Amino acid sequence: MILEQVPVRDGGALPGPLLTEVTGLYASNREFFALSGDFPDPEHITEEQVAKALADELARPTAEVLLARSEGRLVGLVITLGQHPNPEDPDPWIGLLLVDASLHRTGIGRALAGLVEDRFRTAGREAVRLAILQDNDQAGWFWTNLDYELIGYAEDLELRRPCVLMRKELNGQPEQGS
């Protein structure tokens, strides 16, 4: 699997074919977006909505949108923050990890999380954090099985949804084969 930073045009726009591809990835995850409320109609996620969501993410100074490809196919996307808006928080964050829904439970999510952890580890970061929606049991199971530990509860900064905060220490060398 290859992890690459999203190429953005002036003004934060993605090239048209890439936006279509990324929109397909978002649309495949209807169940998650029905839970999150990020889009008004998770059954009909549009390119314009995805473009705005990505532009909003990329407007943050330390945000990155990373694409995961396997055999040329877009299989996942990760949004990271190198620094949380709270300056007292020393850890980078995983803001979103999406895997094409047709590939759930195939190990791609685990491999993608490992690649992101390795990027942070290589950059000298000691831990990584994330927040999952409190009602997202599948995400809780997924991250717990990747050794993320519950560190608290809070509301997300934008939509005030109840979230579970998790953290993982990034000890040692990057994992081989992630």
* Domain spans of the chain, in order of start: 2-169
Q: How many residues does the chain have?
A: 178
The string of pLDDT tens digits covering residues 101-155 is: 999 999 999 999 999 999 999 999 999 999 999 999 999 999 999 999 999 999 9
Domain 2-169 CATH class label: alpha beta
What is the predicted pLDDT for the residue at 59? 87
Confirm if 74 and 67 have CB atoms less than 8 A apart: yes
Average pLDDT of the chain to the nearest whole number: 91
The helix (run of H) or strand (run of E) holding residue 153 is strand 149-155
Would you say the pTM of this structure is higher than 0.85?
yes
The β-bridge relationship of strands 93-99 and 127-133 is: parallel
